[in-house]
A and B are shown apart, each in its own frame.
Chain A
Amino acid sequence: MSDAGETAAVVAELRRVSVMLGRGQGRVMALNRIDLQVAEGQILAVVGESGAGKSMLARSFLRLVACEGGSVLLDGDDITALPERRLRRLRGRMTMAFSDPADVLNPRMSARALIEEPLRLHAPRGTDRRAAVDALATRLGLTQPELALRPGELAPGRLQLVGLGRAMVTRPRLLVLDEPTRDLDAAAAADFLAVLAGLREDGMAIVVTSNDIAAVQSIADRIAVLYLGEISEEGATADLLRDPLHPYTQSLLSAHLPADPSRRGRRIRLRGDPPQPEDRTPGCGFAPRCPIAESRCRSGAPTPNQVGADRRVACLRVLEGTSRIPLSR
């Protein structure tokens, strides 16, 4: 990946990370040997349906879930085995915002107090917290009157910015946003993502998850497509959008084709519902819904293959170059 002209340092990395959920008979694999990294000043979008493991992946970066195998790195340091006590000190350097701030923010605190709180935990003594919050609010477009409001008095989009401010105020190296636009309407989501795109220049590494590839493609530098806890395809955004190689990526993108009559008929309809980890069948996880599945797909599971210089695709047919779904369908 480094030979693609990127020189920015890798901030966070997952190496063959697996996560199991539940116990006993109900134990399922939520993430299966994920390899992923995100560099300084880079926005990585993780795209997948609900149940694909986006939240677990987001939490894995911050070591908020226990990994079954593999390792998690922050600035080159292995933090996989660090005890919670040691991790706590890193929590100002790697932060997270959730999709539903109303659920997690104290409803009795003002926006200002909420944004300021992490500084109490992580900033050195003598920090001018008020000034830090003011400066950050300006960047995020939060007004002074808004800072005086409580979560219940703010519109969802504005509240999500408060959540973002809270996650950013400690100037983290890694910022993880788990479906930040899930509960926002289209306009508020666009506003939020525009703010997010502007943060790239801070040099943070940003991971944002979404179930909507169209929403994040405008701001992401790289996109990773997640299906049933495995990465189907990963690559630089422009590259991946121009020529999606995994059948699942192709179907996701075709669902968002512009209303252009000349391109009609290319919409790929997937059969069945988004699967949950407990429905996982042997072979390729996507096989039950893949329009071009072959019999071998149900026995052998594809692993992510390097395609070209900067792309990974987990499809058995990609090596023969036959993974593109034919147009005539």
Chain B
Amino acid sequence: MERPVRALLRRIGVGLFLALVVVFTSFLLVKLGAGPTDLLLGGPSPGVEERAQLVQDYGLDRPAFVQLVRYAIRVLGGELGRSWLTGESVLSELLHRLPATLELMLYAILLGTLMAVPTGMAAAFARDTAEDRTVRGTSVLGEAMPPFFLALLLLLVFFRWLDIAPAPSGRISIVLSPPPTITGSYFIDAFLMQDSIAARSALAQLVLPVFTLALMLGASLTLLVRGAMLAQMDAPHFVYARAQGMSREMLTIIALRGALPAIGGGLAAQSAALLSMTALVEYVFAWGGIGQYGLEAMAKADFAAVQGFILASAAIAATVHLLHAVIRRLARIRIRRA
């Protein structure tokens, strides 16, 4: 247990270092790019007092290096500043919106994986047949499609034409009030409160955005699964198993066991990068998560909020990678014990 723990600590250390890099980079971008920092932090027309306060808070009259250090210390202390747009603390706004985004991402990852793994495996077993080519073609197409385009396409078909999906008006029907916050997921919270109408509405709202993301994620994951399986199928032990006349199920297990590390790694990388897609999808569906928050902040040059969003996405990516590392370690320990 000693070594895994140390390895995890090291990963956390690396994560913190990366956070610093992100802070530094975003600081630098602002310094190089836009106009006076106090303007960015205070909105288009801060009052004289407000401005003086900002200069005081962030040390804007001091050299850039001092500003950076001060800023970094504030950020690492969890102080992300206030959005001039809403006047709220950025941190509390992000935390408030985080469950909505995480819910979307989590379901999308689950659904995408559920779609991609069997499809990729089937394609690998049917290598170079029409079935395989269809899967490959569709996946490449799905990979290349912009997320908001797919989202609009699904809306057009299922909301406008078929009229079986609800309007893209957020996380729950506008005539219902959200359930009290327990986990932050409207669906789960409504379910826990045994409010079946709210639960059903929350679920219906989830379907299209989750599908959009799952399809995007699933497309590239399918190709990854297919490739990883094919690599296994060329390995001697697999050819040998085939020569033995093992059943398709046994062969699947053999290949999957070997392909799992590659698939897990790819899934982790894609999940970590999923937030950028989620942001666009959130925007289309008025989801109100941190993705939409970040996009709107960017459009309005709400600097503190943008910085908060960048840090939040870095944190999500780091968490995904950390989780992946933990799972891999546990799997390795289990294999060694077996």
Of the listed stretches B62-70, B84-92, B237-245, chain A binds B237-245
Across the interface, B244 reaches (CB within 8 A) one of A59, A89, A100, A121, namely A121
When the two chains form their complex, are residues B247 and A88 in contact, meaning their CB atoms are under 8 A apart? yes
B336 within 8 A of A: no
When the two chains form their complex, are residues B244 and A118 in contact, meaning their CB atoms are under 8 A apart? yes
Q: Which residues on the B side are within 8 Å of A117 (C-beta)? A: 244
How far is it, in angstroms, between the C-alpha of A66 and the C-alpha of B234 when the chains are bound?
13
Across the interface, B240 reaches (CB within 8 A) one of A89, A96, A121, namely A96
B236 within 8 A of A: yes
B128 within 8 A of A: yes
Q: Which among B237, B240, B243, B246 has the highest number of chain A CB atoms within 10 Å?
A: B243
When the two chains form their complex, are residues A98 and B245 in contact, meaning their CB atoms are under 8 A apart? no
Contact with B along A117-152 (1 / 0, CB 8 A): 110011000000000000000000000000000000
Q: Which residues on the A side are within 8 Å of B248 (C-beta)? A: 84-85
Contact with A along B230-271 (1 / 0, CB 8 A): 000000110111111111100000000000000000000000
A103 within 8 A of B: yes
Q: Which residues on the B side are within 8 Å of A103 (C-beta)? A: 236-237
Q: Which residues on the B side are within 8 Å of A88 (C-beta)? A: 245-247
How far is it, in angstroms, between the C-alpha of A96 and the C-alpha of B239 when the chains are bound?
10
When the two chains form their complex, are residues B240 and A98 in contact, meaning their CB atoms are under 8 A apart? yes
Separation in Å of the B243 CB from the closest CB of chain A? Answer: 4
How far is it, in angstroms, between the C-alpha of A92 and the C-alpha of B245 when the chains are bound?
7
Contact with B along A63-95 (1 / 0, CB 8 A): 010100000000000000000110111111001
Count of chain A to chain B residue pairs whose CB atoms are closer than 8 Å in the complex: 40
When the two chains form their complex, are residues B239 and A121 in contact, meaning their CB atoms are under 8 A apart? no
When the two chains form their complex, are residues B245 and A122 in contact, meaning their CB atoms are under 8 A apart? yes
Q: Which residues on the B side are within 8 Å of A96 (C-beta)? A: 240, 243
- CB within 8 Å for A89 and B245 given contacts A103-B236, A103-B237, A104-B237: yes
**Which residues 232-253 of A have a CB within 8 angstroms of B?**
none
A297 within 8 A of B: no
Separation in Å of the A165 CB from the closest CB of chain B? Answer: 13
Separation in Å of the B109 CB from the closest CB of chain A? Answer: 31
How far is it, in angstroms, between the C-alpha of A182 and the C-alpha of B240 when the chains are bound?
17
Q: Which residues on the A side are within 8 Å of B239 (C-beta)? A: 59, 64, 98
Q: Which among A84, A85, A122 has the highest number of chain B CB atoms within 10 Å?
A: A84
When the two chains form their complex, are residues B244 and A98 in contact, meaning their CB atoms are under 8 A apart? no
When the two chains form their complex, are residues A121 and B245 in contact, meaning their CB atoms are under 8 A apart? yes
- CB within 8 Å for A100 and B236 given contacts A66-B128, A84-B248: yes
Separation in Å of the A64 CB from the closest CB of chain B? Answer: 6
What are some 18 contacts across the A-B interface (CB < 8 A)?
A: A64-B239, A64-B242, A64-B243, A84-B248, A85-B248, A87-B245, A88-B245, A88-B246, A88-B247, A90-B245, A91-B244, A91-B245, A92-B245, A96-B240, A103-B236, A104-B236, A104-B241, A118-B244
User: Which 4 A-B pairs have CB atoms at the shortest separation, nearest pair first?
Assistant: A91-B245, A104-B240, A96-B243, A104-B237
Contacts A62-B243, A64-B243, A118-B245 supplied; 10 other A-B pairs, CB < 8 Å: A64-B242, A85-B248, A88-B246, A98-B240, A100-B236, A103-B236, A118-B244, A121-B244, A121-B245, A122-B245
